[in-house]
Structure 1
Amino acid sequence: MRADIARFLNDRLDWNLLRTYLVIIQERSVSRAAARLYVTQPAVSQALKRLEEALGRKLIERRGTTFTPTNAGEEVYRIASDIYGNISRLETELDDRTDDITGSIRLLSVSRIDSPVYDEFLAEFHRAYPRIDLQIEVMRSSDIISSLLQKTATAGLSLCRSPIEKLEMRCFLRQRYAIFCGRYHRLFGQSQLTMQDLLAENFVSFTSDQIGDSLSPLTVFRDQKGFTGRIVASSPSLDEVRRLIFAGYGIGCLPEHIVRDDIAQQRLWRLPPDEGLADVDVHLLWHRDRKMSAADNAFLDSMERCMQRYSLAERLGTVR
């Protein structure tokens, strides 16, 4: 397989096919890949077909509306990711102008962006653009969106339930929320619990966990399942919600990947349902009509290259 890919890369490489394939795998959807690339869905499907024909390998197994990469598809994805990562670094290393770009970036963010890819991105960006100052302000999602619409910030990392006119939107993290209780709660350590065992429990909640707000999928889940307990504590901060759940105020919802260490250290206990509640996306947002400085453009371009290189699972640190 590697020899076939090497011949393909050397003799008849079409970088656009590889880039399209990267986005398909990252988005896990041909339609979402088309939207991200600003092309039609048939164009994306045709690009995938051409790449498979050029390599002589089937890259994707379709199962209804979903698909999974084949073994060959996984290998092509790894190789293509490495190629694009190296190209991105090469562009930065050879561009003498990066040291000349100065200015300030104002980035608005929800609390607790937990991503090893994001941490590495910030480090690489600072090495490439040492004269750009970065100011990160933590806000509620509604305040981030309001500020972006007023054109007062470069970009935001925010929850956003649906597209907003005038704002560009790229999915940066896809977080799976589940229900947990803390060490001091009466359900801690109990196995074989069912949903019925949770319905009367009091809840710790995010302030945005209400109908129509950014975490409304959690509200809808509770309503559909018939929870009758009260919301006894709340906060806009993920860390404070986590603290209140640990302290035993009630059960509550948190992103699975953020509390992995808490589970291992037996600070928190996973509750039903086993599959979790809902996926909640953190988006990179910016105003498409805002006048951007060279520093702003450098940041947004670098973020988009980072998202092209790493899949959603890699950004969460759930795959190596």
Structure 2
Amino acid sequence: MLQQPTNRLVWDLDWNLLKTFMVVVEERSITRAADRLGLKQPSVSNALRRLEDRVGRKLIERGPTHFQVSGAGTLLYEECVEIFGTIARIPTLVRDVTEEIAGKVTIAVASHVVSPVFDEVLAEFHQAHPRSTFTISVSTSVEVAKKVREKHASFGLCLVGREDPKLDYKVIYREFFGFFCGPRHRLFGRRNLGLSDLRGETSVSFQTDHPSDALRTVALLRARAQLDENVVGISSSLEEVRRMIVAGLGIGPLPLHVARRDVADGLLWRLPPYKDAPPVDIYLVSNRQTPLNRAETEFLRLLNARIDGTPFSSRVYSE
């Protein structure tokens, strides 16, 4: 098949073909894609064939027992996600054109993001622009970055295991993790413990607690403490990790500044190490390719200004 001239492809391409292709890749099945789109299977197959003819490349290799997206198909899918992320925002951008700053700010955050800097900007922005609205979703850090990359969120606050070159990153604060246990645990209330006292204990943790992921410093500390290798409970939510620790399922890591109140209330007990707790940076993640409405633009400007104007030492939460 011959490649189409670029300018002709842009003007002749049926954008519905891209939508159909994107759904086929996500469903990994012509049949399931047809059900999702409310179309008949031959229509989806024909759309895929027409798109492959237009771009001059085989996009999907499929047969009775296999389904494989080609290299060209993978690249096209990634572009489709960005295209439809932009298109989905058009009604919001148009609706929010008013003299007063108003609009919807969509924020994706990891579950243990607790930051006075962010909270202060949120409060001040609402007072200045009360007609603006917020949607704040809680996800894993990987999902937060994915939402920002695909333009489903104005920006994100999360841990970062590996930076995406298409996104911008800025450290909003640094927190430190410690090990804790609940009232039912045999170590609760015991003082002057050493790391060796944790050897062989059962534990709970976060999904990102892995040497190759965002909480690698915590994973390395777990290895040093020689906790039982079988983690009895895992969650992406800080609230659920905390619940499992309090319930006595095992020792677990939590940010020191987040756990402070529970320690004071007798729900959690701090365990070693008491010094040199592992640091973890929380990032503001944004996508310069995302078209922002006026509310999103102003909120992000204020948040960046507050981060830049606050000394880093004041954004380090050790306790």
TM-score bracket for the superposition, by shorter chain length: 0.5 to 0.7
Instruction: Indicate the residue corresponding to 2:256 in structure 1.
Output: 256
Identity level (%) = 36
Q: Does 1:266 align with 2:263?
A: no
Q: What do residues 73-122 of structure 1 show as CA deviations (whole Å, max 9, x unaligned)?
A: xxxxxxxxxxxxxxxxxxxxxxxx99612221111011143233322221
Structure 1 residue 169: deviation in Å? 0.7
Instruction: Indicate the residue corresponding to 1:150 in structure 2.
Output: 150
Q: 1:174 to 1:99 in 2, by over 3 A?
A: farther
* 1:168-317 aligned within 5 A: 168-312=168-312, 314-315=314-315
Aligned residues: 223
Tell me if structure 2 keeps the 8 A contact 1:167–1:287. yes
Q: Matched residues in 2 for 1:260 and 1:285: separation? A: 27
Please tell me the residue identity of whatever aligns with 2:280: V
Tell me if structure 2 keeps the 8 A contact 1:180–1:253. yes
Q: What do residues 14-65 of structure 1 show as CA deviations (whole Å, max 9, x unaligned)?
A: xxxxxxxxxxxxxxxxxxxxxxxxxxxxxxxxxxxxxxxxxxxxxxxxxxxx
Runs of at least 5 residues in structure 2 that lack an aligned partner in the other structure:
1-96
Structure 1 residue 203: deviation in Å? 0.5
Please tell me the residue identity of whatever aligns with 1:258: V
Structure 1 residue 317: deviation in Å? 6.8
Instruction: Indicate the residue corresponding to 2:108 in structure 1.
Output: 108
Structure 1 residue 270: deviation in Å? 1.0
Q: Matched residues in 1 for 2:144 and 2:189: separation? A: 38
* 1:91-130 aligned within 5 A: 100-130=100-130
Please tell me the residue identity of whatever aligns with 2:127: R
Structure 1 residue 130: deviation in Å? 2.0
Q: Relative to structure 2, which stretch is displaced further, 207-216 or 279-288?
A: 207-216
Q: 1:229 to 1:197 in 2, by over 3 A?
A: farther
Q: Matched residues in 2 for 1:122 and 1:152: separation? A: 20
Tell me if structure 2 keeps the 8 A contact 1:177–1:280. yes
Q: Matched residues in 2 for 1:316 and 1:105: separation? A: 26
Tell me if structure 1 keeps the 8 A contact 2:179–2:270. yes
Give the match's secondary structure for 1:214: coil
Instruction: Indicate the residue corresponding to 2:56 in structure 1.
Output: none
Tell me if structure 1 keeps the 8 A contact 2:198–2:226. no
Structure 1 residue 207: deviation in Å? 1.6
Tell me if structure 2 keeps the 8 A contact 1:201–1:230. no
Q: Matched residues in 2 for 1:191 and 1:102: separation? A: 53
Tell me if structure 2 keeps the 8 A contact 1:159–1:214. yes
Q: Matched residues in 2 for 1:107 and 1:224: separation? A: 36
Q: 1:146 to 1:190 in 2, by over 3 A?
A: same
Q: 1:317 to 1:159 in 2, by over 3 A?
A: closer
* 1:14-29 aligned within 5 A: none
Q: What do residues 119-159 of structure 1 show as CA deviations (whole Å, max 9, x unaligned)?
A: 22211001122222211111111111111111221100111
Give the match's secondary structure for 1:282: strand
Q: Matched residues in 1 for 2:133 and 2:125: separation? A: 11
Q: 1:226 to 1:257 in 2, by over 3 A?
A: same
Give the match's secondary structure for 2:164: coil
* 1:5-154 aligned within 5 A: 100-154=100-154
Q: Matched residues in 2 for 1:234 and 1:148: separation? A: 25
Please tell me the residue identity of whatever aligns with 1:233: G
Q: Matched residues in 2 for 1:315 and 1:216: separation? A: 21
Q: Matched residues in 1 for 2:137 and 2:180: separation? A: 28
Give the match's secondary structure for 1:100: coil
Q: What do residues 211-249 of structure 1 show as CA deviations (whole Å, max 9, x unaligned)?
A: 322222211222244333521112111011111111111
When normalised by structure 1's length, the TM-score is: 0.65
Tell me if structure 2 keeps the 8 A contact 1:179–1:276. no
Q: Matched residues in 2 for 1:276 and 1:239: separation? A: 25
Tell me if structure 2 keeps the 8 A contact 1:98–1:129. no
Instruction: Indicate the residue corresponding to 2:166 in structure 1.
Output: 166
Tell me if structure 2 keeps the 8 A contact 1:118–1:315. no
Q: 1:194 to 1:151 in 2, by over 3 A?
A: same
Q: Matched residues in 2 for 1:98 and 1:256: separation? A: 44
